[in-house]
Amino acid sequence: MNDWPETNPSLILRIKDPQNAVAWNELMAIYRPVIYRLARRKGLLHEDSEDLAQGVFLSVAKAIDRWEQGDSQPRFRNWLGKIARNAIVNAITRAKPDRATGASSVMQALASLPEEAETTQDLFVECRLEAIRWAAREIQSEFSDATWAVFQATAIEGRPAAEVAKVFQRSIGAVYAARCRVAARLREKVLEASAYWSEF
């Protein structure tokens, strides 16, 4: 995704046009990985999770013209979270009989589903993580492979700076400097999308 949506209302307006492939690609780039991970966390297989995400977007496409932004309306992420949760419940209850040995596994899966508010919170957290993943993909080419590897080793993997300095034959100060440069740029890139994530 080259251009991050400037404002959420404009993206929603644009996806109300089913022919606007750019807007739909933006929406799916943001939310498809999120919905897929939610489905996998609830025990659905890879293929089933892929199908579920596709089904959720088909439901959104059919209903988006009825969704309106406003104080009395749910936020878009809440609305999408409800569609995703319903799709997950349907997928679990329609599980093929040969997938489980008895009804108890389906009942356990249903019982483990979070409440709607929890699903919305999960969706919000996953969206935030997706914003960070997106920002990381966008900025990685701005840094040398070694600088990026130092950042990944220290900031993401949590390895001690002294260990990373030894592995990459750098001073500890250079490791901290590299990590700070990448982290600052990552924060800046995420902030480009912050209004989008907070209002959706």
Total-model pTM: 0.58
Summarize the confidence of residues 183-193 as an average pLDDT: 83
The amino acid present at 96, given as its one-letter code, is K
Contact 56, 77 (CB under 8 A): no
pLDDT at 172: 93
Q: For residue 8, what pLDDT is reported?
A: 59
pLDDT tens-place string over residues 155-172 = 988 999 999 999 999 999
Domain 1-124 has CATH 3.40.30.10: no
Question: Which of 6-10, 30-34, 46-50, 98-102 is predicted with the least confidence, judged by mean pLDDT?
Answer: 98-102
- Locate the domains of the chain by residue range: 1-124, 143-200
Q: Which of 103, 109, 98, 117 is nearest to 39 (CA)?
A: 109
